[in-house]
Structure 1
Amino acid sequence: MNRNIFVILILAVLFVSCSDVLDPSLENNQGKNTTYVNPNFGYSLIVNGYDRVPLNNWSFNDVATDDAVTNDPSNNYLKMATGQLTSSNNAVDMWTNCNTGIQYMNIFISEVNKMKFTEDAQGDMMYKDRMRGEAYGLRALLMYHLLRAHAGWVNGKLLGFPIFLTEQASGSNFNLPRADFNTCMTQIYQDLDSAKSLLPTTYTDITSTGIPAKYVSAGITDYTKYNRVFGVKFLGLMSGLISQAVRAQAALLAASPAFNDGSANGSNGTWETAAVAAAQIINLKGGIAGFPAYPAAWFTNGTSWYNNSAEISSLNNGTNPPEMLWREGIQGANNTLETNNFPPSLNGNGRINPTENLVEAFPDKNGYPITNTASVYSSANPYANRDPRLLNYIVVHGSKAGVPNVPINIASGNDAVNNIATSTRTGYYMRKLLRQDVNKAPNINSTQIHYVPKIRYTEIYLIYAEAANEAWGPLADPKGYGYSAYDVIKAIRKRALGIATDPYLESIKSDPAAMRQLIHNERRLELCFEGFRFWDLRRWKVTLPELSAPALGITVTGTTSAYTISTPATVETRQYNDKKYYYGPVPYGETVKWSNLLQNDGW
């Protein structure tokens, strides 16, 4: 953690206005007192919080799980997964980044009343409310990620992180003990409550009848003045809706087996708490009817939120497609994802290689696990009659990909297993997230725009399904929401499979244990390559053999139309065969500096 911040990191992009979401720019150093006379400098503190949100970019920590490997031998997640994870070498370390962001938020919250953002007193009051709300929401989000990455057991107590709520200057006491997990959760909830009370549910332009009562009572009657502070042009900033999503994420973490022993967490760690938090968002979305489904063509042409060119091109000023609750700004035309991950025959580096483990997790076209006796899966033709997500997310032998959209031959040539440094190691390439309208031929090398989702609505629906199943069972709806865990999973699978009936789901809908397994698998499939599985396996506290399951791959022989697939074999081992790996370590350097900062057991 940066213990002494004597200067304020100033960013050029400040009030977002008509810019798309929030894109930090160049830095300048200024003295802190400058904030009192220049509002831009004050707002730059908030920008620093946004800049440190861990959701801003792809992590691809999937390659440290049983879902994928990488062909890049220098990849830090590969090193971590294969035995080099230590308290001094931790690729998923969030300590410095999150604590630094929290420090900036603390400074802003402490100093904001001394700042002036506009000469108009009413406008200034609203700006301060909004920015305070942003700061509380961002602080809570950073604390959640800090907790997920570093909470753990110490001498029989589940601990989180030291809680700093004020600016840490040169004379401050940094040698504070870690607060217990429940206290950290309480602080996160308090910050989220503060954010929700200060922020609009979402940013939208209102008419004269839409001014919130608290501002009407303050004498604000000009709705255009309200829109200048809380209007649609600020979409993409922390909002009441986003703060509620962070609450659902944090509540799910606290309820999960690795972080809830039945006594340490109290009400902060119940499945019902998580289900209710997610339901509040789902209700605003319209319940099951609001689940973001795509047209029927989605099942046949492979388009989706990351590859829908017309939808992506229409996004501006922070607007969201139906799938997105919160997203990062539009990235200028580029082909970085495709350069990194296209197969070598498409002039890519083939970095992310899905495993046979993940491929086998996709059910057949009727929703049955491929190991089920009712499945239409055939080992002789393993990619036929499968869940459409398989071929939409993963390039298998014979798949068409990119431009010129030709079949990928994993049986021979540079796309074959381990043929060159950029070839697949598992027999598969990643397709999800990549724009298939990119042509990387040297004489063309076309580009397309992209964006990174920060929170998808599908994640929120999955949070509800998991928490509701654990709290009340698959079919129960004790809160009267109009939907159950079963209903949510039915909607997710209907969108994925494109089937009117789901016989496998119907066969298990009264069995909480079987439903748990299905929900976990649906989360694995829907969120693959988005950085979830590494954390999910740990919060579920799966068995150590499952946590350290080796990554499997296959080889292919023959042609694209007549081929044989080998028996799956280990491509890469996973070195998570100790219970300490359920929890990340506190950085070694921090525990050396501060005697009260205890390390998690085993590290």
Structure 2
Amino acid sequence: MKRFKIIIVAAIMTLTACSNWLDVVPDGIATLDMAFNSRTQARKYLATAYSYMPKNGGAGDPTTLGGDDIWTRRTTHFSNRFSLAGLDIGEGLQNATSPILARWGGMYEALRVCNTFLENVDLVPDLPAWEREQWTAEAKVLKAYYHFCLVQMYGPIPLIRENMPVDADVYAVKVEREPVDECFNYIVQLLDEAAEGDMLPTIILDPASDYGRITKPIALSLKAKVLVTAASPLFNGNNDQATLKNHDGTLLFDAAFKAEKWEAAVAACKEAIDICHEAGIRLYTFDDAANRYNDTTVLNVTLRNAFNLRSSSEIIWANTQMISIPTSGGMIHASMPKLNPDYVNSNDICQWLGMPIKIAEMFYTENGVPLDEDKTRSIGDLYNLRTAQAADKLYIRQGRTTIDMHFDREPRFYAWVGFDGGVWFGAGQYNDKDASSLRYLAFKVGETDGSQGQGNWTGYIPKKFIPYEAQLNAINSISSPSYAWPVMRLSDLYLLYAEAINEVEGPNGSNSAELFRYIDLVRARAGLKGVKESWDRYTNNQKYNTQAGLRGIIQQERMIELSFEGQRFWDIRRWKTAPTEYHTPLQGWNMMVSTVDGTEEEVNRLMYQPQLLLKQEFGVRDYFWPIRTSDIEVNPNLVQNIGW
């Protein structure tokens, strides 16, 4: 297997990484003999193994449009450059004949490349021992990650521990799915092997050339996420999957709940946090050393940069396969508003991606509690009109009328959600001492960011994707910093740790202080008080005192903090809350209202009428992708997922 000649198809793949380690993709390797005959060629092959990383946040990522947090219309002419296939998932069009945005073939090809590297790296004659160990560990982490991507999507899968010899019996290659617990165990085994000793560096010494390469914090943080996923209801005591079994009767899900899974997750999260801290990974805060901005603006920039700044101190793993750049088809381009009246006639910058009303309602009030729990707010007033005053001027354009729901919300809402009248710090205007000079969104037809019959169908846009410096520099041209998509941030890890502790012992156990500490660190960075203080002062209940109540708090905190990053899609599945979340119809505001449709008050009232966008459905079968029918025909040993 190590010496026979084969054509390396993956080695001639084209990549799109910018100024990163992945730029060293081979330009054509004919045989394994050549691929591993020198350090240079082997390095190229390792880069090829990286090249299969799913393009998080791209049009081919099912979390982009396949969930319930980002939406667009099929009629948009932006569809010729940004795949709308994810909408088929949300609309219930998934099928087994041609599964939508499936990863089966791509991930198994990736695993074959990883195995080939691991089986041949010892042949490289000029590779130092320390570097061989590091590259081996990197390949094992990639192998673990690709298996994990498959498990998230399909549940129990065939494990590819090693490549099959070319002369293997035809029956030997007809593999079976393995029990899901075995899948998780194997993934963790690979990560433990990779993280052992000093094979992986704690930090990247040359970020300019090695940005995106795997480190020890990445390996251990991925292990933490894997074990939290394995302990979650979808994979731990899931009776809904009890009938899924191989043809020989092997059960693929254990219906029994195992508390030790959560205990393992707690230990893994703590180990990952410790190594991240050792590596200098910290929650990001904007350093306004020149004292240019007031505290509101500093917090706004902090929250924007935490996700979309390439050098953000809290990014554990950045996927350089998905560089967000301001070109046609990217997330920046797909979400960017015009902002500047000089470009009102641009028909290519129209905020094609939006979010439904329910996601805007998900964010906390300024008091750090949910809208429907804050005793200082009246739910009946949320859609009433209200005009921004001087006290609101850095969040909502002074004098602009919008709805009560947009006022007095938490800083993450204003940093990550764009809405009509919302101030947009940056885009060429940075004088927050003169709030009237700052950009703001004007969504009515006839205004700067009005739909003009295209785009902006919901009344909200994912501001989080767009660096605050981004701006239009020509009628259809955007100038913006680029960034790699964060696969995992430190705030994600902190909240996983809090979740795991709560599941093991509830809110009043021996690790209670640790539990609340890590939730409150995330909240403090967002400008909010701690959980206990917020619920004590601003609600009529102390839900944080029960395991179920605190579970709800942690889940909402994750959905807010990690909004639009693709985490919600997988989280609501592993929690088995997807049917509840999808039950709420997707609604948006009436974005076809024009400034000439009546008086200002009449126009505003017309605009803030909820419009049905889509009624989604979610059943047991939707937790996992179907295996393509033709794949089962080729390999009858594979059993189909329930419901397909």
Structure 1 CA distance for aligned equivalents of residues 159 and 6 of structure 2: 17
- Counterpart among 134, 141, 144 of residue 137 in structure 1: 141
List aligned pairs for 1:258-407, cutoff 5 A.
Answer: 258-261=234-237, 263=254, 270-286=261-277, 292-295=283-286, 299-301=296-298, 302-304=300-302, 306-307=304-305, 312=309, 320-329=311-320, 331=323, 334-335=326-327, 336-343=330-337, 347=346, 348-376=349-377, 378-379=381-382, 380=384, 381-401=404-424, 402-403=427-428, 405-407=438-440
Q: Report if the CA contact (8 A) 1:365-1:388 is conserved.
A: yes
- Counterpart among 110, 116, 123 of residue 101 in structure 1: 110
Tell me the CA shift for residue 138 of structure 1: 0.9
List aligned pairs for 1:166-177, cutoff 5 A.
Answer: 166-172=162-168, 173-177=172-176
Partner of 1:473: 506
Tell me the CA shift for residue 9 of structure 1: 3.6
Q: Report if the CA contact (8 A) 2:70-2:354 is conserved.
A: yes
Structure 1 CA distance for aligned equivalents of residues 285 and 509 of structure 2: 27
- Counterpart among 145, 152, 177 of residue 148 in structure 1: 152
- Counterpart among 120, 127, 131 of residue 111 in structure 1: 120
Q: What TM-score results when the alignment is normalised by the length of structure 1?
A: 0.81
2:71 alignment partner, SS class:
strand
Structure 1 CA distance for aligned equivalents of residues 510 and 626 of structure 2: 39
- Counterpart among 500, 503, 515 of residue 533 in structure 2: 503
Structure 2 CA distance for aligned equivalents of residues 242 and 303 of structure 1: 26
- Counterpart among 581, 586, 604 of residue 546 in structure 1: 581
Structure 2 CA distance for aligned equivalents of residues 267 and 139 of structure 1: 26
1:602 alignment partner, SS class:
coil
Structure 1 CA distance for aligned equivalents of residues 189 and 457 of structure 2: 47
1:69 alignment partner, SS class:
coil
- Counterpart among 572, 592, 616 of residue 537 in structure 1: 572
Structure 2 CA distance for aligned equivalents of residues 485 and 106 of structure 1: 39
User: In 2 relative to 1, CA 107–334 (structure 1 residues): closer, same or farther, beyond 3 Å?
Assistant: same
Whichever residue aligns with residue 642 of structure 2, its letter is D
Q: Report if the CA contact (8 A) 1:46-1:135 is conserved.
A: yes
List aligned pairs for 1:175-190, cutoff 5 A.
Answer: 175-190=174-189
Q: Report if the CA contact (8 A) 1:323-1:457 is conserved.
A: yes
Whichever residue aligns with residue 91 of structure 1, its letter is I
2:406 alignment partner, SS class:
coil
Partner of 1:195: 194
User: In 2 relative to 1, CA 571–418 (structure 1 residues): closer, same or farther, beyond 3 Å?
Assistant: farther
Q: Report if the CA contact (8 A) 1:21-1:236 is conserved.
A: yes
User: In 2 relative to 1, CA 203–493 (structure 1 residues): closer, same or farther, beyond 3 Å?
Assistant: closer
Q: Report if the CA contact (8 A) 1:328-1:453 is conserved.
A: yes
- Counterpart among 584, 588, 601 of residue 629 in structure 2: 588
2:186 alignment partner, SS class:
helix
User: In 2 relative to 1, CA 468–502 (structure 1 residues): closer, same or farther, beyond 3 Å?
Assistant: closer
Tell me the CA shift for residue 559 of structure 1: 5.0
User: In 2 relative to 1, CA 437–303 (structure 1 residues): closer, same or farther, beyond 3 Å?
Assistant: same
Q: What TM-score results when the alignment is normalised by the length of structure 2?
A: 0.76
| Larger mean Cα displacement after TM superposition, 184-193 or 343-352 | 343-352
Partner of 2:68: 66
Tell me the CA shift for residue 143 of structure 1: 0.6
Partner of 1:211: none
| Larger mean Cα displacement after TM superposition, 291-300 or 467-476 | 291-300
Structure 2 CA distance for aligned equivalents of residues 6 and 267 of structure 1: 45
User: In 2 relative to 1, CA 463–19 (structure 1 residues): closer, same or farther, beyond 3 Å?
Assistant: same
Q: Report if the CA contact (8 A) 2:410-2:528 is conserved.
A: no
Partner of 1:513: 548
Over aligned residue pairs, what C-alpha RMSD do you find? Answer: 3.5
Partner of 1:451: 484
Structure 1 CA distance for aligned equivalents of residues 530 and 638 of structure 2: 55
Partner of 2:522: 492
1:440 alignment partner, SS class:
strand
Structure 1 CA distance for aligned equivalents of residues 28 and 295 of structure 2: 46
Partner of 1:41: 41
Q: Report if the CA contact (8 A) 2:368-2:528 is conserved.
A: no
Tell me the CA shift for residue 530 of structure 1: 0.8
Q: Report if the CA contact (8 A) 2:26-2:44 is conserved.
A: no
Structure 1 CA distance for aligned equivalents of residues 371 and 257 of structure 2: 40
Q: Report if the CA contact (8 A) 1:137-1:192 is conserved.
A: yes
Structure 2 CA distance for aligned equivalents of residues 501 and 245 of structure 1: 25
State the identity as a percent.
21
Structure 2 CA distance for aligned equivalents of residues 26 and 35 of structure 1: 9
| Larger mean Cα displacement after TM superposition, 464-473 or 488-497 | 488-497
Tell me the CA shift for residue 258 of structure 1: 1.1
Tell me the CA shift for residue 416 of structure 1: 7.5
2:472 maps to 1:440:
yes
Aligned residues: 549
Tell me the CA shift for residue 117 of structure 1: 3.1
Whichever residue aligns with residue 489 of structure 1, its letter is I
| Larger mean Cα displacement after TM superposition, 430-439 or 29-38 | 29-38
User: In 2 relative to 1, CA 30–560 (structure 1 residues): closer, same or farther, beyond 3 Å?
Assistant: farther
Partner of 1:420: 453
2:472 alignment partner, SS class:
coil
Tell me the CA shift for residue 133 of structure 1: 0.8
Tell me the CA shift for residue 342 of structure 1: 1.5
- Counterpart among 441, 465, 479 of residue 408 in structure 1: 441
Structure 1 CA distance for aligned equivalents of residues 200 and 326 of structure 2: 33
User: In 2 relative to 1, CA 22–370 (structure 1 residues): closer, same or farther, beyond 3 Å?
Assistant: same
Tell me the CA shift for residue 562 of structure 1: 9.2
1:451 alignment partner, SS class:
strand
List aligned pairs for 1:196-215, cutoff 5 A.
Answer: 196-197=195-196, 199-200=198-199, 202-203=201-202
Structure 2 CA distance for aligned equivalents of residues 520 and 88 of structure 1: 35
Structure 2 CA distance for aligned equivalents of residues 474 and 546 of structure 1: 25
Whichever residue aligns with residue 594 of structure 1, its letter is N
Gaps of 5+ in 1: 119-123, 152-159, 206-226
User: In 2 relative to 1, CA 575–522 (structure 1 residues): closer, same or farther, beyond 3 Å?
Assistant: same
User: In 2 relative to 1, CA 187–83 (structure 1 residues): closer, same or farther, beyond 3 Å?
Assistant: same
Q: Report if the CA contact (8 A) 1:67-1:355 is conserved.
A: yes
Q: Report if the CA contact (8 A) 1:182-1:264 is conserved.
A: no
Tell me the CA shift for residue 495 of structure 1: 1.8
Structure 1 CA distance for aligned equivalents of residues 610 and 234 of structure 2: 31
Structure 2 CA distance for aligned equivalents of residues 573 and 436 of structure 1: 34
Deviations 1:133-179 (A, max 9, x none): 1111110111111110111xxxxxxxx11112222354333211111
2:462 maps to 1:430:
yes
User: In 2 relative to 1, CA 373–509 (structure 1 residues): closer, same or farther, beyond 3 Å?
Assistant: closer
1:454 alignment partner, SS class:
strand
Structure 1 CA distance for aligned equivalents of residues 146 and 306 of structure 2: 31
- Counterpart among 83, 86, 90 of residue 81 in structure 1: 90
Whichever residue aligns with residue 73 of structure 2, its letter is N
Tell me the CA shift for residue 89 of structure 1: 3.6
Structure 2 CA distance for aligned equivalents of residues 38 and 399 of structure 1: 56
Q: Report if the CA contact (8 A) 1:182-1:266 is conserved.
A: no
